[in-house]
Structure 1
Amino acid sequence: MIESIIKTMYSLLQKRPQVQSEPYPHVVIEEALPWDLYEELENTFPEKQILDTQPFDDGICYRMKANIMLDQKFQPEIWRKFTEYHTSAEWFNEVNELFKDYMPKVLHKKFTTNDLGARGWADKNKNIWTDCQTVMHKPITETTSRTPHIDNPMEMWAGLMYMPYKNDESIGGEFQLHNVKNKVSKVDMTKGRQVFDEDLGPVVKTIPYKRNTFVMFANNSTNTVHSVSKRISPTTYRRSVNIIGEFKRGFAKMYEVQEIR
């Protein structure tokens, strides 16, 4: 019992948010973690280890995935424990319950460690993967770091916790939810599943890039279009944590979409 309480204190859903259904199922939680816990994570953010990884997205984005942070030798320990919880069956069930009304029936059950595992650690018999990634984007000014797009169809849900530096005075870098003009049936894979202009609708909700803010959405249709607004006068990296649940490659998808290459 005590161990369970200690684990769930790391949960980004401990405030028990209500799901907003428009433009698609999502939650936004300000002050998601107790401030003492958040500030310990903030003060020990593993910046050097992240920047030692190979960059993605033409060199502008660094991601350190759960398979690194789950190593028993990984330091800081608080980040290992945070990652352990947010890749666990307990966490998966917590999210599953939150988005139950929007998930396929195959997910309407309680999962155990026999059913799922962290990406990079899960054995081949597990058909569900979880991941927790610490992320840093370079302070670019030419464009947004993420144009309007949808995520991988194998993904069930995704969460994003903002961790800006205290002295980050830039404007922008906000998470944006879009409407669509038409049901999205195809995406541009050369631009990271970017949505084509004829289907893209306006931004209908913006979540400010603010400390200890968590946004999460159910990836339950091709219309879950989102983006990141352009940062104005950035001088620091954009820091965040990505938390993901997905089907193993080749096992299942949440939806079908044509991927134009």
Structure 2
Amino acid sequence: MPQNPPAVRSLLAGVTKDDIRRDPFPHIVISDALPQELYDALAATMPTAEYIGEKIGKKITSNERYNYMSEHVLGDPAMAQVWKEFVTYHSSPEFYAEFLDLFHEDLVANLPQVEQQTGALRDLRVGRRNRDSFDTHDILMDCTAVINSAVTGRPSAYRGPHVDKPYKLFGGLFYMRLAEDDAVGGDLVLYKYRSDDPKFRTSASEYGDSRFDIDPEYVEEVTTVPYRANTLVMYPINPLALHGVSVRSLTDHQRRFIALVGDLQHHLFDLAI
């Protein structure tokens, strides 16, 4: 008989404000974020770049990003039940409340006008991206299975220093590195500004909005979070939350993680262009 999937537990279970690191901006790095049985069940059934690419109609190229969002996971009969339960919880009002319990003070400290723009953060109506709309909800959450494809041709970084889109309230990365992945790089690099007058570059994303990247001359590296299995990184988004991905060596292995996001209808801040 098939075994029941392990019970889903929050990635933030047991995380407290004492775990917040504030250099160069508020964030958490949590090792062994999930019980091993739950992590193993998710890791064993995570979709590949090829699977996602076929489902969403995106060609496989070197070190590209392939997103299988909650709408895809929940609508795919082939996805394991543990994935459906995991993305349901991590795009829920309960998970949003856990995030605020950790980071509310840091959010307001770094974006003093935020609750004038959004209303009380704890009162926001929470929905799920691509299921609900801003007509009836204030923040749309998502929990996405993400693959960076194999690196061919030459070593490359998927993305250099940048700030996440200003309409996002938070970002989260949960790494699911394969045990056999011996590639060098693919780590998360955290930066601070070198000058008071940084210049961002905008480019269109595949979803029709703008990305905000910055030339390395305007930033300096502060710390690196290694790409390791069962490791969670999470942070509120503000102009100081500069980060990027280090260069990955040539490899047949795919870089695997879960992305956690909360989208608002309007930008919370502006970036100098």
Q: TM-score, normalised on structure 1?
A: 0.85
Using the TM superposition, name which of 44-53 and 223-232 deviates more. 44-53
Distance, in Å, in 2 between the alignment partners of 1:86 and 1:126 is 17
CA, structure 1 residues 179+42, in 2 after alignment: closer, same or farther (shift >3 Å)? same
Indicate whether 1:90 and 2:94 are aligned.
yes
Moved over 6 A (4+): 56-59
Indicate whether 1:206 and 2:224 are aligned.
yes
Which residue of structure 2 aligns with residue 253 of structure 1? Answer: 267
| CA offsets 1:157-200 (integer angstroms, 9 cap, x no match) | 10001111121011110011001112466421138411134422
Q: 1:110, CA displacement in angstroms?
A: 3.4
1:217 aligned counterpart, secondary structure: strand
Which aligned pairs between 1:48-197 and structure 2 lie closer than 5 A?
A: 49-52=51-54, 53-55=56-58, 60-71=64-75, 73=77, 75-103=79-107, 104-105=114-115, 106=118, 108-111=120-123, 115-123=125-133, 124-140=135-151, 141-183=154-196, 186-190=199-203, 192-197=211-216
CA, structure 1 residues 24+39, in 2 after alignment: closer, same or farther (shift >3 Å)? same
2:173 aligned counterpart, secondary structure: strand
Indicate whether 1:44 and 2:58 are aligned.
no
Which residue of structure 2 aligns with residue 224 of structure 1? Answer: 241
Distance, in Å, in 2 between the alignment partners of 1:71 and 1:24 is 36
Aligned alpha-carbon RMSD (Å): 2.4
Q: How many residues align?
A: 246
Indicate whether 1:11 and 2:10 are aligned.
yes
1:40 aligned counterpart, secondary structure: helix
Distance, in Å, in 2 between the alignment partners of 1:246 and 1:118 is 9
2:85 aligned counterpart, secondary structure: helix
Return 5+ residue gaps in structure 1 as ranges: 1-5
Identity of aligned residues (%): 26
Q: TM-score, normalised on structure 2?
A: 0.82
Distance, in Å, in 2 between the alignment partners of 1:44 and 1:144 is 26
